[in-house]
Structure 1
Amino acid sequence: MSKDRKPAGESWESFADRRIREASEQGEFDKLPGLGQPIPGIDEPLDENWWVRQKLRNEGLSVVPPTIEARRKREQALEKVPSLGSEQAVRRLLEKVNETIREAQFSAAAGPAKGVHPVDIEQVVQQWREQRAEPQQP
């Protein structure tokens, strides 16, 4: 009979207890991740959706509406522009952001009524050039 199946006549509790004892004797619990460490969030207030939040965090997923996510990416890109070393890098970054914005604008997902507008690439590139041309002060 298979070791993975509960034998007829044995209670579920004794079957589970036996399997746990056997696994423990074989050392299968000796090197589990987090062994000897506190359980994360154990002292936080009870949240019935904790597992959903944890799953989203572990999978790198977001439930933020696409327009809000696009707005956040737009702001991050504009903050990054001054540190970029070439006009080509600036244009690539802004084109990628504008594509994200276009996708958000045509998304069927619910979001704020006031959307996010694409970046005027030529204007930002011009500002980037001007900042590069200004003499750096010590």
Structure 2
Amino acid sequence: MTEAWDAAVEAQIRGAVQRGEFDNLPGMGKPIPGKGAPYDESWWIKSFLEREALPSDLLLPTPLQLRRRIEQVPDEVRDLPTEQSVRDFVGQLNAQIVAWLRNPEGPRVVVRPVNADEVVRGWRAERDRRVAHTPAAEPATVAAPVRRPRRGWWLRWRRRG
């Protein structure tokens, strides 16, 4: 029975090849990805992250994710508009750090809360530097205001009649 099955499958494949159903498939003529590379047990995770365009930081344990976020704080707060928004951002990060410190899991990595005053100081210095290097804008010409009919003109018109 399996020989008959194999023969039927082979006949269908040969027929599809003759009809050209396998022509112009994506990847045709290209080498098989990963062929010749050493076996990687997490190949499917890496391919999923790449295919879905997800950051690989998601695979890190919590303390390492927190350390990476602490390193990125200056870049994260650079474009925030106010000092209060910078303090709020640091406060949220510190809340996550404290939550991890209360119940640590994963590798033992030193993670300390971020000093909000230092971050604000760096944010101000960066903002002042950007303002100093920004060329002064030319004064904008003021357009004449558009005249609109006075409110209630139709009420006065209706009362006449």
Q: 2:122 aligns with which of 110, 114, 127?
A: 127
Matches within 5 A, 1:53-92: 53-59=46-52, 60=54, 62-82=58-78, 84=79, 86-87=81-82, 91=86
Q: Give TM-score, length-normalised by structure 1.
A: 0.58
Q: Which moved more, 1:30-39 or 1:113-122?
A: 113-122
Computing the radius of gyration over CA atoms, which structure comes out larger, 1 or 2? 2
Once superposed, what is the RMSD of the aligned Cα atoms?
4.1
Relative distance call for 1:15 and 1:102 in structure 2 (3 A) is: farther
Q: Does 1:117 align with 2:112?
A: yes
Q: Which has the higher helix share?
A: 2
Q: Secondary structure at the match of 2:69?
A: helix
Residue-pair matches, total: 128
Larger RCO (alpha carbons 8 Å, 6+ apart): 1
Shift of 1:65: 0.8
8 Å Cα contact 2:63/2:107 also seen in 1: yes
Shift of 1:10: 6.0
Q: Give TM-score, length-normalised by structure 2.
A: 0.52
8 Å Cα contact 1:102/1:118 also seen in 2: yes
Percent identity at matched positions? Answer: 33
Structure 2 unaligned residues grouped into runs of 5+: 134-161
Aligned-partner Cα distance in 2 for 1:101–1:69: 11
Structure 1 unaligned residues grouped into runs of 5+: 1-7
